[in-house]
Amino acid sequence: MSLIAGDRDGARQAAEKVLSSTVVEGDATESYYALASRAEAQVLLGAPEAAAETLAQAIARSPQDYTAHASTLGQIDIILQELGAPNTWLAPLRPPRVAHFTGRIFNLPESRDQPTDPSARRTEALAAEMQGVLRTNRVGFAYGGLAAGADILWAEALVACGAELHVVLPTSVGSFVANSVAPFGQGWVRRFEACLACAQSVRLATKDPYAGDDQVFTYSSQFAIGCAILRAEALATEAVQLAVSGGDAQSNVAADLAYWAAAPRRQVILTLDRAPLRVAPRAQTAHPPTVMKAMLFVDVRGFGSLRDDQIPAFFGVVMAQIAQAVATLARKPEHIETWGDGVFLVFDQPADAAEAALAILAAHRRLNLRARGLPRWLALRIGGHYGPVHLLMNPILGNQAVVGSHVVVAARIEPNVAPGSVYVSEAFAGALATFHADRFRCGYVGRTKARRDFEPLSIFNVVRRECPDMRSCAR
């Protein structure tokens, strides 16, 4: 903190005091933090070689405590940035990488059923190549689907290498198996079930069965990508995409590769020398397809406790300030609804929704509520979610309605928000981390309260990313 405040002499004195006073003893946790503190002090004193050795000793004391490692590495990154020194020497000390895996679907036969079949031998060689990629890249955590073919091979390789497998499926499990696993051979079903049993977590983009809208598959892939990048950021490590392409530009794999590369981040792409798979088209729904939207629910804590004579002032002050904040946005919402103290805003992009949420929150904080006859404890709670929705005609009002299960997800987040904050779903936070990590920071808060008809889901606090040069920001 002294260094960031511009007091380099004070920082050096504090670092020297740490080196002369810290004693490494006690349990593994205590000794880890004692050694980590010494490493930070050595960085402050301009001794990266000594710091690397000390930090390696600290990690050896508590090798699986990746959260603690990430905290230390984050602090050292800040120190090095302030000193204008490189941080490349930290790479071997960072936690294992986090991967998003994807790949083309292909049929059986497989090596386990017909070991002499040429295609089975190619599949076996691909599986071995996957394990080599995982070990070379130190992948310890991975997120992706479990479709027949490359997805399942990646999952099996991850389990064989001792990495954490996190599965993200677009639909209910039974429907996914019926559409993306079973049609390509019953052997894949057995392997799917074995991989699912080994998964550390299973996320569903929707609990519903597949209804003919392929948007849910796109959403599921983007959700998995966001989860991988969020996890990598939390662990202060690198995110990498692992893919298997057959050179036939299969749409789902090509879309995953393009989405990831838009950031851009590192990719490892393997090729499978096999003729393109002729997949029967999925049954299409008669309903119009869903579209991806970012949604915000804004609510005012304390509105229900207002006296009746305070309601006009509430609308003239609090709601009017929200309206003014929305009106001044560079990218305005595509859809607005309001009832009582609640406001529902819909945007095309998560970044636009995040900007709106933070602008509305900042505008409310500027209000002098007491001077307008309102209690000071009136505070905004803003919840957000990103997912596929239906754009339909409201038969009663005659205007557009934004509806669907993902609207319900957004609505269920808002009651869990701490007053004066913006909380969003993992899908929303993942989209921000993928493309806008330079503008927003999403910190894990916890899980929503369990309800009878709504399972808990992970939520993240959204704030603006701190200015790289804090002193210039202050000026």
Tokens representing residue 228 in the block: 């991988």
Instruction: List phi, psi (to 5°) of 9.
Output: -65, -45
- In tens, the pLDDT along 174-219 reads 999 999 999 998 999 999 999 999 999 999 998 888 888 888 999 9
The pLDDT value given to residue 461: 97
Residue 348 region by backbone torsions, left for phi larger than 0, else alpha for psi between -120 and 50, else beta: alpha
Q: pLDDT below 70 — which residues of the chain?
A: 22-30, 108-119, 247-251, 273-287, 467-475
The CA distance from 78 to 7, in Å, is 15
Q: Which long-range contacts (CB under 8 A, 24 or more apart) does 174-177 make?
A: 174/209, 175/208, 175/209, 175/210, 176/146, 176/210
Strand pairing class (139-144; 164-169): parallel
Report whether 437 contacts 468 (CB < 8 A): no
The CA distance from 373 to 306, in Å, is 11
Residue 171 makes CB contacts below 8 A (sequence gap 6+) with: 179, 204, 205, 206, 207, 208, 209, 210, 216
Q: What are the percentages of helix, strand and coil residues in the chain, rounded to 5? A: 45, 20, 30
Under DSSP, the state recorded for 318 is I
The pLDDT value given to residue 473: 38
Strand pairing class (342-347; 291-301): antiparallel
The CA distance from 208 to 140, in Å, is 31
The pLDDT value given to residue 450: 75
Element (H, E) at 195: helix 186-198
Domains of the chain plus CATH, in order, are 8-93 (no CATH), 97-271 (3.40.50.450), 291-474 (3.30.70.1230)
Tokens representing residue 396 in the block: 């009663």
Tokens representing residue 146 in the block: 């479990």
Terminal CA-to-CA distance of the chain, rounded, Å? 18
